[in-house]
Structure 1
Amino acid sequence: MKILNYIIIYIFITGTLIPIACSDKKDDGKSTHVSETDTLPMLIMQIQKCSRLYTTEYNIHKIITHDDVIRMQGKVLNKDFNIKLPVGDRKIAIPMTATLKAYIDFSDFSDKNVERDGKNITIILPDPQIVMTSSRINQKEIKEYVSITRSYFTDAEITEFEKQGKEAIIARINDTNIIETARDNAARVLIPMIEQMGYDEKNITIKFRKDIKKLNVNVEK
């Protein structure tokens, strides 16, 4: 006798920009024009002040469906059989919401991340990082069907389903555009900051590493 568990996860994603200013603006609102010798150290110091620059927040809504069916499996006369036992079914649908945030860590930002050629300046962004800041189950909207011959799902089982849901979100993070959104939003924050150092927007380039194959997602406790 074998218990077969089926879990289907439906994911819906919404993304929002987290507006963050991480540069000090002068009271007169004028751009600061300094010599090339002084500009680079000042620019690096201003960017380092950003530390963790959170640029993107994704709210992921998903429904975990679990179908618990008891079947008898085996082989008789070299023929496989798989029979559903008439002991009743258990089914549950669990709505869950998780929040993912993407940020750029500028704590190790240095002159290695900057390329300058006369009036042109290129910033090489560190790789975006992702953290799951929260997750919750909507307890009021859980739908459960349990035959009279079966027991209801326990809190421990539901907690395990939530864990599996988190793992499913993390496994599919590469299917989203969260990295591209994080990079675009970081550029929107950095370009005005660099302009304050005396550079023209047309001379500013933000570069990214293109060979990110797997994203690591940290989960806040």
Structure 2
Amino acid sequence: MSNDMIQTRGVLSEPARCICDPVRAVKEVAQSFFKELNQRSDTIIQLLPEFLYRLSCTGERMPFKSYKTVFEFLIQLLKEKPKSNTETMIDRVCIKFSGIDMNDTEAPKYLLVALSKFAQNDGGIHKLQDNWRHWSKFLCHPQVAREYRQMIEHLESSSKNEEYKHHCSELLASIDKIQEEGLSKDDMASAPATSKVCGFFIGL
């Protein structure tokens, strides 16, 4: 990541909030800014996961409806970019789960907005499975598990690809297993060796 990118990732999350500003003039300026930025560079592709993370965290969290509006606007801009530039988006969004407090049940639902969008093809659902260890630990919260289950059920019912449906079924079974049995060591692979999470002890 370039020095310019490091300097701008925090700054640009602030004008991103203005994309849905109630003042029309402010909203239009913000939207024009990001449209021009997208035409000149790949900055939005590079920084979208950071935007999503910052705007979903407790200290800077936007109202959920506004958050979705910002995401939908930015994702529309990415349609102008080559598909290859967005293929790693699920990986990069999932990594952001590591910065979320385990007791925060809202941020995972915010990031779900992006995951549900990027998992709509076979490659996307594979990446969601590959990144299981990043987001599965939040499934011990019933409300989070419910949201993620509904998302995957929707993806499954919307697809005509049998292999894709199979991967969705596997994820649903894994979610159900956590709800029934709690988190396993595999689910918490990136966590400390012994910890108490959502009422379940994960030991060596």
Fold-level similarity (TM above 0.5): no
Q: Which structure dedicates a bigger proportion of its chain to helix?
A: 2
Short-chain TM bin: under 0.3
Q: Which structure dedicates a bigger proportion of its chain to strand?
A: 1
Under a length normalisation based on structure 1, what TM-score does the superposition of the two structures give? 0.20
Under a length normalisation based on structure 2, what TM-score does the superposition of the two structures give? 0.21
More RCO (CA 8 Å, sep 6+) = 1
If you compute each CA radius of gyration, which structure gives the higher value, 1 or 2? Answer: 1
